[in-house]
Amino acid sequence: MLIKEYSDFSFTQAGVLSTSNWGVYLKLDNDIRQLFPYINSEIEDARYYDSPDYIVFKLDGVHCTLYPVEVMAAPFTDQDQALAFADRLIGYLNDLYARRETVKPDHRKYKPVPVLDLYKLVPGTNCGECGFTTCMAFAAALSQSETAVDNCPYFSKPISENVIYPVFDKDGNLASTVSIETDASNKEPKKSIQKDKVPLKITSTGVQAELTHREVEVLRLVAGGSTNMEISDRLSISPHTVKSHVVHIFNKLGVNDRTQAAVWASKNNIL
């Protein structure tokens, strides 16, 4: 058992307008930072921070912030509910400690990028192709990991990338990681990638282009009459990404709608 008891329990109201807006603070009798990577692995949407080390997650609908020996949690309607949850949380942490050999730890730490810094990387045109009404809204969602860079077809290209390698101890457990920066701007495409390209003839716009393997998959489904939502489910990608692929396909083929794209696919045996 890692945690036997807690102390300094305090129950305070964060606001006067809501009867359920109460929070708790308590101090644990043991340092639990060794559990943070396991919580990060096991609980969806957990966020593991450093400087200082702490982790944020939801357990049974309650927002929890754990430091090495301190806990903050909310919201609660009364003190009895808060006390019951404190026991629930400690039970979960002790159980996780007992199961830690069966859980693969996730040592990745969340480092949010400021919204304004991300906004500098988007076009600022508010085109809506990302699924958000404005570029600022997309940048804000990206900062909170609620969307992905790939959902903006005009996002600035990287000039370098960090590749993270694991370092294992003598028992085969992950001890640390090493990050190596690589040059993305001068990276030569691998020959195998060329297999994912389908050369196109001169389109109606007079521009020669090519479709990626994913765009060919989307075009086949479009030609088969599938909606964007159906394509999303079939290919396990977001509807925003499907919409972006469809726009790119139309532009490359020089067509204006799905019917014209289907006709082109039929003529060129992309079915």
Range of the domain at 40: 6-102
Number of domains in the chain: 4
Mention every residue, 6+ apart, whose C-beta is less than 8 A from residue 111.
49
The verdict on 206 and 249 lying in the same domain is yes
Task: For residues 3 and 16, give the distance between their C-alpha atoms in angstroms, rounded to a whole number.
Answer: 33
Asked if residue 242 is part of any domain, the answer here is yes
Domain CATH code at residue 139: 1.10.15.40
User: Helix crossing, 239-253 with 213-223: angle to 10°?
Assistant: 90
Asked if residue 150 is part of any domain, the answer here is yes
Question: Do the strands 210-211 and 198-199 form a parallel or antiparallel pair, or are they unpaired?
Answer: antiparallel
The verdict on 79 and 138 lying in the same domain is no
Prediction pTM value: 0.49
Mean of the per-residue pLDDT values for the chain?
Answer: 80
Task: For residues 89 and 85, give the distance between their C-alpha atoms in angstroms, rounded to a whole number.
Answer: 6
Residue reference for tokens 């076009």: 123
The verdict on 47 and 22 lying in the same domain is yes
37-61 pLDDT, tens digit each:
999 999 988 989 887 889 999 999 9
Predicted pLDDT of residue 66: 95
Asked if residue 1 is part of any domain, the answer here is no
The verdict on 95 and 182 lying in the same domain is no
The verdict on 91 and 24 lying in the same domain is yes
Asked if residue 152 is part of any domain, the answer here is yes
138-174 pLDDT, tens digit each:
888 887 667 778 888 888 777 766 666 666 666 665 5
187-217 pLDDT, tens digit each:
544 443 344 445 554 444 433 457 788 888 8
Asked if residue 87 is part of any domain, the answer here is yes
Task: For residues 35 and 33, give the distance between their C-alpha atoms in angstroms, rounded to a whole number.
Answer: 5
